[in-house]
Structure 1
Amino acid sequence: MVSMIRAAALRGLTPLVDALGGDGAALLGRFRVPVDAVDPPDDGTAGDGPDGDVLIRAATAARILEAAAATLDCPDLGLRLAERQGLDILGPLAVVLENSPTLGEALEGAGRYLFVHSPALRVARIDDPESAHGVMGLLYDGRGDEPGAGPPPAQSVDLGIGVFHRIITLLAGGPYGLRSVHLPHPPLAAEQRYREFFGTDVRFERPAAVLRVPADLASRPREGGDETVRAIAVDYLETHFDRPGRTVTDRVRTALARSLGTGPARIGSVARLLRMHPRTLQRHLASEGTTFESVLDEVRREAAHRLITRTDLPFTQVTAMVGLAEQSALTRASRRWFGESPRALRRGAAAR
């Protein structure tokens, strides 16, 4: 499985490369990544399009960072880019974090929904790797899930854990008691540069990238959040993004359920939503033992049963809402699905 990441993970790279004497646009062009996907134009239109949601391969993002660091002879490039980034690179996930009532719930939200930013990344609370009393670890893991994938390149680690540290600082409203930092690679720049960035001791060539923090950090309250806004954001993430490991059949079913009745249910439209060719979608469904037509029929059946038995909507409206052209088509489908007409099905449900 190819690991992807939102292009926003490289936000700020173009001006950073330019400021260091390079050509940011040309660098991204070498890897066929659109500049606007990484750094949308600052003309008031950045929020009007899908640029922030463009996905690129996580391995490509890592190679871009390594190439920039080597070309510019800038060993602390990952840290420099982290200094330019904040919560906004996380898109809708940022709303969940900003409106969490405690830092612990913000960390839980990050761990649960970071797949929206990239399935290649993972953060989690762990036991302190140094077993100190009153200390816990916050793990940052960016190794991804591509076959044969090894540890992520060092610049990617520096950027990722650097942004993780900055986001916690922002959520905490300032320094949060960071005890020390573990990194899995040797220092890329002077060790003093790392100490200045993190404001604490940094230990290299450790088993994993970890922020060592006070154990009570999770219980610290946050001010200014709105639990209603958080709930809306969580619902948005749950209904608009597919968790890793979901089958293609599940993804098609979800897409159809959301769009049923809004227009013709065509495989081409669903394939575009899932970012694949219709023939590829058909092959995936066949490998899972089903077809597009079968999934569509199941979705229509479930919607029709709910609308017929739980509402008093006119059958003409039910027909339109399940994506059928004529009420007679609903009647035929109802007899096939349930063994009786829509009217009889509704009457039986009312009598129970």
Structure 2
Amino acid sequence: MAYLTRASALHGFHEFAISQKLNPTDILRKAGLPGDVLENPDALISLQRFAMVLELGSETSGNPLFGLEFGLHQGVGIFGSLLYLMRNSNTVGDALRDFGRYFHVHDNFGDVVIQQTDGHALLYYASESENLPGRRHVSELAVGVGYQLMRSLLGNRWQPVAALLQNAPVASNARYRRLLGVIPRFNSTFDAWMFDANLLDITLSDADPKLHRLILQQLDTIDRIDSDELPAQIQRLLRSFLPSGRVTIDYIADFMRVSPRSLQRHLAGHGTSFQALLDETRQSMAVRYLEESDMSLMQLTEVLGYANQSAFSRAFQRWFGASPRQWLKQQKA
């Protein structure tokens, strides 16, 4: 399975990377992400490439707490409709349960878990991330975002009992305290926030039940759309990668962190194939560029990822029964 997250998970990365004296475009490129990824927050990206961004950021900046600090920096702005759903829930506990129920709309790699025991509640992000490069940064980013999430719900009433981190300390206790307000309990079972369970019963005074119902309907619709959007997602990737010639199913499958055979199987379930989507994408791009630009046929051949102009002309003849020049004359006529 390809583990995916929304590109909104990189919300605020440009500003944060600059604050760490990094070139954000260079980090994204090295992680194998398109240069315009920050402009399309609803696009789906490989979680492994997202983790690679954090790992590269940490290594390049020399900041061992890169993921944690990025999470604190970006806060809750990454969640879109999920944030409005939580803020219009009846209580803090309801808000967190709603968040956990629909979190897969944002990220299909892990789950948000609320657990109560002995008068305390635990909030943590559970995922199968042991073999993920940059796992620690992804998990600590979730801790940072979790802190800001609870602050957004509770304001000054958010007083955690403890922060739990799975790893040994990688910075001084003073630095952790400055960032989190507490010194974490290291080498824990999972990365989590522990707090008084009574906080779950606090009513959210500004909640609007009617708006809450509308957002639930919207998220249910998004959920249904996401299950059907794989072909459209592949075509978005093709449009990004065609100019560089990287249009093989092996390359696209690797980008999505899924095997080519598995990708073909999923596309077959949608009644299409990789080759059919590649053909459709090239066809629509060719029409748009011929009608809206003065690009030469040689340039267009390169943009569409063909090896030579003859290959492009043969494909165009197959699509429209005419050469590109003949077709353009017909359109003008």
Q: TM-score range by the shorter chain?
A: 0.5 to 0.7
Alignment of 1:170 onto 2:152: yes
SS at match of 1:201: coil
Please report how far the alpha carbon of residue 272 of structure 1 lies from its aligned counterpart in structure 2 after TM superposition: 2.5
Distance 1:215 1:66, change over 3 A: same
Question: Which structure 2 segments of 5+ residues have no match?
Answer: 239-260, 273-333
Please report how far the alpha carbon of residue 150 of structure 1 lies from its aligned counterpart in structure 2 after TM superposition: 5.6
Alignment of 1:41-120 (within 5 A): 51-120=40-109
Question: Is 1:115–1:243's contact at 8 Å kept on the other side of the alignment?
Answer: no
Q: Which amino acid aligns with 1:135?
A: H
Q: Which amino acid aligns with 2:89?
A: S
Number of aligned residue pairs: 250
Alignment of 1:320-331 (within 5 A): none
How far, CA to CA, are the matches of 1:137 and 1:80 in structure 2? 21
Alignment of 1:170-249 (within 5 A): 170-242=152-224
Q: 1:141 matched to which residue of 2?
A: 126
Question: Which structure 1 segments of 5+ residues have no match?
Answer: 41-50, 245-250, 256-269, 293-352
Question: Is 2:164–2:184's contact at 8 Å kept on the other side of the alignment?
Answer: yes
Larger relative contact order (Cα-Cα within 8 Å, sequence gap ≥ 6): 2
Q: Percent identity?
A: 27
Please report how far the alpha carbon of residue 223 of structure 1 lies from its aligned counterpart in structure 2 after TM superposition: 2.0
Distance 1:13 1:273, change over 3 A: closer
Q: 1:155 matched to which residue of 2?
A: 137
TM-score under structure 2 length normalisation: 0.67
Distance 1:273 1:14, change over 3 A: closer
Q: 1:17 matched to which residue of 2?
A: 17
How far, CA to CA, are the matches of 2:122 and 2:220 in structure 1? 27
How far, CA to CA, are the matches of 2:114 and 2:69 in structure 1? 26
Please report how far the alpha carbon of residue 88 of structure 1 lies from its aligned counterpart in structure 2 after TM superposition: 1.9
How far, CA to CA, are the matches of 2:31 and 2:131 in structure 1? 20
Q: Which amino acid aligns with 2:4?
A: M
Task: Determine which of 104, 107, 125 is the counterpart of 2:114.
Answer: 125
Q: 1:323 matched to which residue of 2?
A: none
CA deviations over 1:88-133 (Å, ceiling 9, x no partner): 20122111012112101110111101111101121111244xxxx4
Alignment of 1:272 onto 2:257: no
Q: Which amino acid aligns with 1:5?
A: T
Q: 2:286 matched to which residue of 1?
A: none
CA deviations over 1:186-207 (Å, ceiling 9, x no partner): 1222222222222123111111
SS at match of 1:200: coil
Question: Is 1:31–1:64's contact at 8 Å kept on the other side of the alignment?
Answer: yes
Q: Which amino acid aligns with 2:201?
A: S
Q: 1:322 matched to which residue of 2?
A: none
Q: Which amino acid aligns with 2:123?
A: L
Where is the helix percentage greater, Structure 1 or Structure 2? 2
Q: 1:350 matched to which residue of 2?
A: none
CA deviations over 1:46-91 (Å, ceiling 9, x no partner): xxxxx11011111111111011111111112122212221222012
Please report how far the alpha carbon of residue 216 of structure 1 lies from its aligned counterpart in structure 2 after TM superposition: 1.2
Question: Is 2:51–2:133's contact at 8 Å kept on the other side of the alignment?
Answer: no
Q: Which of these two proteins has the greater Rg computed from alpha carbons?
A: 1
How far, CA to CA, are the matches of 2:133 and 2:128 in structure 1? 5
Question: Is 1:5–1:118's contact at 8 Å kept on the other side of the alignment?
Answer: yes
Please report how far the alpha carbon of residue 275 of structure 1 lies from its aligned counterpart in structure 2 after TM superposition: 6.1
Q: 2:31 matched to which residue of 1?
A: 31
Q: Which amino acid aligns with 1:76?
A: L
TM-score under structure 1 length normalisation: 0.63
Alignment of 1:6 onto 2:6: yes
- What CA RMSD, in Å, does the superposition of the two structures yield over aligned residues? 3.0
Question: Is 2:119–2:197's contact at 8 Å kept on the other side of the alignment?
Answer: yes
